[in-house]
Structure formats: C-alpha cells, structure tokens
Amino acid sequence: MANDKTILRALAGETLQTPPIWMMRQAGRYLPEYRATRAQAGDFLSLCYNSDLATEVTLQPIRRFGFDAAIMFADILLIPQALGADLWFVTGEGPRLSTIDSEADFARLADAADIHETLGPIYQTLRNLTGALPPETTLIGFAGAPWTVATYMVAGRGTPDQGPAHALKNTNPALFDALIDRLTKATIEYLSAQIEAGAEVVKLFDSWAGSLKGADFDRYAIAPTKEVITALKARHPDTPIIAFPREAGDKYIGFAKKTGADCVAIDNSVTADWVAENVQVDGCVQGNLASSHMVTGGDALVRETRQIVNALRGGPHIFNLGHGITPDANPDNVQLMIDTVRGG
C-alpha cells in the first residue's frame, strides 16, 4: 500500500508527473467544521488532548479536499508542557508559557524520558488515524525543532525577533545549551513514539530558524536537527523526515545533506526557480505557495501555483504552502489550488 502513497514516493526521491499535495495547518480555523469541533472541545488545549476530537479535526480537510496527507492535530508547545512548563492560550493572542531564564527554572523541568504520560492522548490520536484515513493518505506526525520551541520557553510567548532567546544564549550559553539539549532529547522521544503509534512521516518545524545567523544557525538549527534525525533513523530507518528551517535563505542550500533530512520544506521568501537550482538538486523539496493566496484567490493564485509546479517538476516535489494557512482563508481558494495542481 505504501507504493500507492504519492507522498512516500516523493520522499523516496521519485519525480512524479503530478506532485502530491497537503497544506500546513490544513486542520484549522478557516474551516467551519473545525470551529464547530473546537467549540465542542471548549478550548484549544482540550482539543489537542481529546483524541476523538483531534482525530475528527485531522480528518476534516481530508474529507473536504482529499489531500494526499493528513497531519495529526496537535501543537509544537506540548513538549514544554510535558516537560513541566505551564502552558495556556490567550484567545486572539496565542500561547503563554512559564519562562526559563535561570538555572532554578531549568531544574524544575522533567527529564526527556518522562514526557510520555502527558503526551499519551497525542499517540492515541495517531492510532485512531491509522484506522480512519483512506488507504492512499499518508499520516504525518510532527514536533517543533529545539531552537523554535526554546524561543517560546525563554520568552513565555511568541516574539517578533526571538530577542529573549538570543539574549539568553549570549549571556548564559551554558543554560541555553542545556535547554536545547533537553528539548533535543525530548523531541527524539516524542517523534519516536509518534512513529510507533502510526506516523508514516514526521516533520520538524523550525519556524524561527531565520533569526539565527552565521555560526548560530549551524549550532542551533542544523546541529539539533541532525541529532534528532540521526537518532530517529537509528530507531526507525524507513521513516522519512521533513525539515522546515523557515526563512533560512541561503542556508537552505545543503541543509538536507548536513542534517540527513529526506525533504526540505521551503518558505515563500525564496522563488521556486531558486529552490530548483539550489535545493532540489539534493532531493525532495516541499512548498512553497504564499499562504496569502488562500485569502485573495483568483488568477494570481492559479498563475503562481502553476509556476511553482513547473519550476519544480524536474525533481521530487511535494506541493504545499510556504507557511501555514491563515484563519481568514477561503476554503474555495484551497480547492482552486488543489484543482490547479492536479489539473494543470
């Protein structure tokens, strides 16, 4: 059956006439059925930890659009919570966490091996999905990359420039490195358990990699990603891994070789032609339509979608957005994108 799953074929290096397609945040607030299910759950975290409802929202975009992959519904900040950080979400503003800015804060965190009891419902969601998805649909698990998750844990929230994390790594590098190491080990445990529960592919989201420059990119984006992938490949050698160092720019070049990733997801700050010349030469790429097209639609969406497909048709490619779909997107535009990819 795996041979019928086009995403697994692309991840194995096959160039397909029509690229498989899925969409970051495809289960989300732009869908009325998602909003109804979230209201039933009561709040965002309750939805993440309710395996039946998380299964339902994961399936909703598959039923509506027939994407080639489903990505389990969860959040990258569940690992900090499993490590013992306080986590809550403020409506309209996003996540809030207890902060890590001293050795005493770090000492209160759990060991990486102790996360599984908290995260058990996430694994159950994956087990549910293995029996509920259409046979041709690939199941993707995910985690946040250590640098990105650390930025939230240091600041206690998302920030425009990840300034608090940069400040801590510069003023107390031993503490910051210990946090990165703890997150790296927890991410290995988390993703390994996801694979054991049924994930056929896993993805590392390094959403704030672009704020790392020079040697810092190598130390905090490449090195932890390589450690995670090396450990996962030792345990699960047949499971493909997608890495997404968002806004890496020129650092996208060689990222797959340096980390062992089977596919590099690309944001829309670089062109598909550039990606074909500089990144796809090393293997599968994923991306990279601007998510704003899901709001505006029209001829520009069709034109840009076709341009990306044409630019990347010479190698393995998974069509996706350059970032997650936004809550103000129109589902009709999602369908137009899919129709354009599949029908020319």
d(CA 101, CA 88): 19
- Identity of the amino acid at 87: L
Residue 1: the pLDDT is 43
Mean pLDDT, rounded, for 59-67: 98
> Percent of the chain beyond pLDDT 70?
99
Residue 91: the pLDDT is 83
Residue 313 belongs to a domain: no
Task: Read off the pTM.
Answer: 0.97
Q: Chain-centre distance of CA 97, in angstroms? A: 20
170 burial type by CB count under 10 A (0-12 exposed, 13-18 middle, 19+ buried): exposed
| Domain extent at residue 19 | 2-248
Which of these, 111, 88, 109, 85, lies nearest to 99 by C-alpha position? 85
d(CA 340, CA 321): 14
Q: Chain-centre distance of CA 59, in angstroms? A: 17
Mean pLDDT, rounded, for 285-306: 98
Residue 253 belongs to a domain: no
d(CA 85, CA 339): 43
Residue 311 belongs to a domain: no
E strand or H helix at 94, and its extent?
strand 94-97
- Six-digit token pair at 262? 């089977």
Per the residue annotation, which of 34, 49, 123, 152 is the catalytic one?
A: 152
Residue 4: the pLDDT is 84
8 Å CB contact between 242 and 261: yes
- Six-digit token pair at 314? 């010479």
Helix, strand, coil in percent for the chain, rounding step 5: 55, 15, 35
Residue 281 belongs to a domain: no
E strand or H helix at 88, and its extent?
strand 87-90
Per the residue annotation, which of 25, 206, 262, 282 is the catalytic one?
A: 25
What CATH number corresponds to the domain at position 110? 3.20.20.210
Residue 294 belongs to a domain: no
Residue 298 belongs to a domain: no
Q: Is the link from the previous residue into 3 a cis peptide, with omega within 30 of 0? A: no
The pLDDT of residue 144 is above 50: yes
Q: Chain-centre distance of CA 39, in angstroms? A: 24
Please give the sequence-ordered ranges of beta strands (E in DSSP) within 235-279, or none if there are none. Answer: 241-245, 263-265
The verdict on whether 38 is a catalytic residue reads yes
- Six-digit token pair at 42? 């009561």
Q: Chain-centre distance of CA 216, in angstroms? A: 21
The overall longest dimension of the chain from CA atoms, in Å, is 57
Per the residue annotation, which of 35, 64, 75, 127 is the catalytic one?
A: 75
Per the residue annotation, which of 35, 38, 219, 342 is the catalytic one?
A: 38
The verdict on whether 152 is a catalytic residue reads yes
Collapsing DSSP to helix, strand or coil, 143 comes out as: strand
Which of these, 183, 170, 139, 142, lies nearest to 8 by C-alpha position? 139
The verdict on whether 29 is a catalytic residue reads yes
Residue 23 belongs to a domain: yes
Please give the mean pLDDT across all residues of the chain: 97
Predicted confidence (pLDDT) per residue in 149-181, tens digit = 999 999 999 999 999 999 999 999 999 999 999
Residue 92: the pLDDT is 82
Domains in the chain: how many in total?
A: 1
Residue 45 belongs to a domain: yes
Tell how many helices (H) and how many strands (E) occur in the chain. Answer: 17, 9
